[in-house]
Amino acid sequence: MRVLSRGGPTSDLFGQEDPLSRRALITGITGQDGSYLAEHLLALGYEVWGLVRGQANPHVSRLRKHIGDVQITTGDLLDQGSLISAVERVEPDEVYNLGAISYVPMSWQQAELTAEVTGMGVLRMLEAIRVVSGISPSRTPGRGQIRFYQASSSEMFGMVRETPQNERTPFHPRSPYGVAKSYGHYITQNYRESYGMFAVSGILFNHESPRRGAEFVTRKVSLGAARIKLGLATELRLGNLDARRDWGFAGDYARAMRLMLAQDAPEDFVIGTGQTQSVRELVEFAFRTAGLDWEDHVVHDARYTRPAEVDLLCADPKKAREQLGWEPEVTFEDLVTMMVRSDLRLLSGSARPEDEPFSPDHW
């Protein structure tokens, strides 16, 4: 059973311990979101731990080069026992479950693994917290319980029933990834209602950065524009240019994650900008930033079209704005400019450490 023993906590504005005495465990810490969240929590004075698979994980040294003072423990979202051991070892105040197979097209190729990691992995982490905390139907958690954040996704909305999408919009996922994320969302809700656990989900819309893996369309576009500008390529092949997304900056969204766990009561929140752009608009702006005309270089390739397309995703972040006080700080234009300039530095050999992408394989 978990016992907090790190001295007398002081209360902050949210009724929790002062961040200086708080300890966070992050799954998926070697991914884009995990890196920005770790930076944010460290800046607030947290002790930050990351969960990685295996002692020889090659992404840990890069993480430490970027982020600095992060401690590591081993565990796997496929292995219940390893998660229990990790929670027992770290004794976290907060657990952020960002680990997943997060590249949507891959979820059709590895549907079963996606279900196990992205869906059942959430259940295993919730169970680890419940077991270590000694929570049961007859014993509910008390003050100082471990707070749990689940990274839900706008892909759960899929074939949308209404626009924009808010916390009450029904789900209709259109990929194995979206289906797995929906399971993770509902099992988080179920543990909150069944056991009284402080467990929340952030339904995050698309959020990008220079650290995004090269397989994601935003990074594929910024890298493509940079390669063509530097004479390393002549064309960029893409799928559906008409799909519209609500794109924001990953660093802004990391702030929202922490704010959700700093509330007095657990609730789910939609996080997004409330604005949409098409893939075509993304391409046009990225190539313009590189001083290129996109129509001279971009080629449509049907191989990159999803089996079941999601045409439009747009957030209604009103609840997050009113209850969390959260607002995005980086505009779409600033985000694309940031990514293109970063990739120009990366490919020209003048890259800074923060320009390197983080691992797409981060559960």
HSE (CB half, 13 Å, CA atoms) of 221? 29
For residue 78, how far is the Cα from the chain centroid?
19
Tokens standing for 175? 């990929």
Q: How many CA atoms lie within 13 A of 180 on its CB side?
A: 26
User: d(Cα 195, Cα 137) in Å, to the nearest integer?
Assistant: 6
Placement of tokens 């929140």 in the chain: 269
CA dist 98 and 253 (Å) reads 12
Structure letter (DSSP) for residue 133? H
**Active-site annotation, residues:** 182
Query: CA-CA distance, 60 to 57, in Å (whole number)?
Result: 6
Tokens 């979206």 belong to residue: 178
CB contact at 8 A, 238 and 300: yes
Asked if 217 and 247 touch (Cβ cutoff 8 Å), the reply is no
What does the chain come to in residues?
A: 363
Distance of alpha carbon 328 from alpha carbon 103, whole angstroms? 24
Please check whether residue 132 is in contact with residue 195, taking contact to mean a CB–CB distance below 8 angstroms: no
Tell me the CA end-to-end span of the chain in Å, nearest whole number: 26
* In contact, 225 and 343? CB cutoff 8 Å: yes
The DSSP annotation for 144-178 comes to: TPPEEEEEEEGGGT-S-SSSSB-TTSPP---SHHH
Identify the H or E element spanning 199: strand 198-204
Strand, coil or helix: 242:
coil
* Separation CA 7–CA 10 (nearest Å): 9
